[in-house]
Structure 1
Amino acid sequence: MKILTVAAVFAAALAAAKDVYADSGLDALFKREQSTLNAVPTGRLNNFFNFNRSGKKAKPTEVKFTKAWLDTIPAAKGGDNFACLAEALYFEARGETVKGQFAVAEVIMNRVKSSQFPNSLCAVINQGTGRKYQCQFTYTCDGHKEVIREKTAFERVSKVARLVMDGATTGITDGATYYHTTAVRPRWSKSFTKTARIGVHLFYRDDRFRTALNN
């Protein structure tokens, strides 16, 4: 009787397994898959698995303060905060120049960033609407229903809203969190630093909160 060593038994089992693998067609399948894999360019594989990607960020939108430029921007859309900002720009600044509209949007965004005000666009815009004429933005508490009648004007200010929310910055108000029209002179304006005059609006910054705003 022939006695097989452990090594011989293992070799025989491995040979049998190879025969089964070949007979089952798995060997041919493996070769086809290997051939397909080898045909894919290395660069495509690296991109698929996110290897060696540069991670470049999209460049900020270069803002141009013209209606012609705004008209080249796709129609804007968004959620509740977008709707609040677009509405605020329509009722507060639709008669302003495009630069003036960006300035008002910038003030509202600066308020969201400041610890002095609520931390969302809708909350900032609707702050103090419980009493007539005791709110931050008069159109929200003047007792009149907000009706958008100028479609083109609303489409344009909506684009301004979307651009500002998406990170387009201008710095034209130098950190302002307040503004008023040149037709009035509110008492609070004496307490703040005037930063700009754009169109019919004067802009102010509360320097007590400037550090928090810049962080």
Structure 2
Amino acid sequence: MSISKSWLARVSVCVAVAFSPVATIPALADGKHQVAYETRTARTSQATVRIDPNDLQCLAEALYFEARGEGVQGQRAVAEVILNRVDHPRFPRTVCGVVNQRGQFTYNKNARIREKGTFARVQKVAMAALAGAPRTLTNGATYFHARSVSPSWARRFERTARIGAHTFYRSDRRLASN
């Protein structure tokens, strides 16, 4: 498949996903933030993309807690980092594995989702990312942090982008530390 047809197929999936509703229950009575999803498939003229409900839940929760105050572009950038990690050999091979990796994300995994509208928006971003949206915002970043902090690890990696309130870094090109 040519690059332009592949890109067109991904864009078609993203458009289809953006305009299709997802059934959700934002917070259960037991205080957990488990979300019920319909199993979704996105169809294009080229292919059908099946999205794992567990991956969708983990990615949507991570976006909600890490980037809900960002615009769509900032949320897409955080989703890119998570999916770039899934594809990178030094990180877990699943979205939930990456999101739940000890010490990597700052949100409390037991926190409740309180803003239902915001959560619905990040679900759409998560679904589009999992359906194969192009990852062109962060230039391959596998790390990010809020611009309001300055973590020591940031000096070791190549900065690739600043989007909204976050700065993004690529870990495959370590900088000299003299």
Aligned to 1:61: 11
Aligned residue among 171, 175, 182 for 2:140: 175
CA contact (8 A) 1:75 1:155 kept: no
Cα distance, 1:62 vs. partner? 6.4
CA contact (8 A) 1:89 1:105 kept: yes
Identity over aligned pairs, percent: 50
Q: Would the alpha carbon gap of residues 93 and 149 (structure 1) be closer, same or farther in structure 2, given more than 3 Å must change?
A: same
CA contact (8 A) 1:126 1:140 kept: no
Q: Would the alpha carbon gap of residues 63 and 198 (structure 1) be closer, same or farther in structure 2, given more than 3 Å must change?
A: farther
1:2-43 deviations in whole A, cap 9, x for unaligned?
A: xxxxxxxxxxxxxxxxxxxxxxxxxxxxxxxxxxxxxxxxxx
Aligned to 1:95: 69
Matched, 1:196 2:161: yes
Structure 1 residue ranges without an equivalent (≥5): 1-55, 129-134, 210-215
CA contact (8 A) 1:84 1:121 kept: yes
Aligned to 1:123: 97
Structure 2 residue ranges without an equivalent (≥5): 23-36, 40-52
1:62-98 deviations in whole A, cap 9, x for unaligned?
A: 699xxxx999622244511110000000000010011
1 CA distance for matches of 2:173 and 2:167? 19
Q: Whose helix proportion is higher, 1 or 2?
A: 1
Aligned to 1:75: 21
Cα distance, 1:59 vs. partner? 1.6
Runs of 4+ in structure 1 over 3 Å off: 69-72
Q: Compute the TM-score of the two structures, normalised by the length of structure 1.
A: 0.60
Matched, 1:138 2:112: no
CA contact (8 A) 1:94 1:153 kept: yes
1 CA distance for matches of 2:18 and 2:173? 40
Q: Would the alpha carbon gap of residues 70 and 150 (structure 1) be closer, same or farther in structure 2, given more than 3 Å must change?
A: farther
Aligned residue among 134, 149, 162 for 1:184: 149
Structure number with greater Rg is 1
CA contact (8 A) 1:176 1:206 kept: yes
CA contact (8 A) 1:192 1:205 kept: yes
Letter in 2 for 1:191: R
Number of residue pairs matched by the alignment: 141
Aligned to 2:112: 147
Q: Would the alpha carbon gap of residues 72 and 104 (structure 1) be closer, same or farther in structure 2, given more than 3 Å must change?
A: closer
Q: Secondary structure at the match of 1:138?
A: coil
Cα distance, 1:191 vs. partner? 0.2
Quote the RMSD (CA, aligned, Å): 2.6
Which one has more relative contact order, counting CA pairs under 8 Å at least 6 apart?
A: 2
